[in-house]
Structures are given as structure tokens and as C-alpha cells.
Amino acid sequence: MLTARLSSKGQVVIPSALRAELHLEPGSRFDVKIENGRLMLAPIKEPEFDLEAIRAAVDKVAGCLYRPDRVMTSEEEDEQAIMKMLAEDDERIRRGEE
């Protein structure tokens, strides 16, 4: 069994063998609780991000959204198009079409 000592600042040094086994690095965070009178530390596993993969995915999605043939419209034109679609839907419903 390994031992550790509490410093005057309330700090405990985790023995290097345990740090290596658990892959703990400076800044590692822990859940801390008392269980059956024992102090329990559980490392919090931070998610790992592959920034290059994220950038590639964003570029792919952005590429799908971009259409050079698409004409940009104003907010007013968008609203008019939506109102026209709704009016057409209302007319179709009145005629009993689904």
C-alpha cells in the first residue's frame, strides 16, 4: 500500500506510480466524495477532441450548404415566399386535397 501526506495547504501528492497507471497529468480533475468513512477520488475523464476532424466535418457541412447558383433574398422576400406557400396550402386544404 502506498501512502501520502496532507500538506498545510490541504494538498495531497498522488504517488507517481499511481499517476502513471491512471494517466494523470497536472491539471487533472477529480470527483471527490466520502464513502463509508473513506475519502474517494475518481478522475474525471475529459473528452478528447480531434480538432482536425472537427474542422474537416465543419468544412464538409459548409460545403453542402453553399450553392453558388442560389440567389440571396431579403427578409421581406423570404416572408412573402412563406406567405405564398401557406396560402397555397390553405387553398389545397379547402379543396380537400392532402
pLDDT tens for each residue of 31-52:
999 999 999 999 998 777 788 8
Q: pLDDT tens for residues 36-95?
A: 999 999 999 877 778 888 888 888 887 677 666 777 778 888 888 888 988 888 888 888
pLDDT (0 to 100) of residue 32? 95
Q: Which residues contact 9 (CB under 8 A, 6 or more apart)?
A: none
Cell of 93: 386544404
pLDDT (0 to 100) of residue 98? 59
Cell of 51: 480538432
User: Which of left, alpha, beta for 16 (phi over 0: left; psi -120 to 50: alpha)?
Assistant: alpha
Can you give the length of the chain in residues?
98
pLDDT (0 to 100) of residue 66? 66
Confidence category of residue 6, pLDDT binned at 50, 70, 90: very high
Residues 14, 26 contacting (CB under 8 angstroms): no
Domains of the chain: 1-46 (2.10.260.10), 51-94 (no CATH)
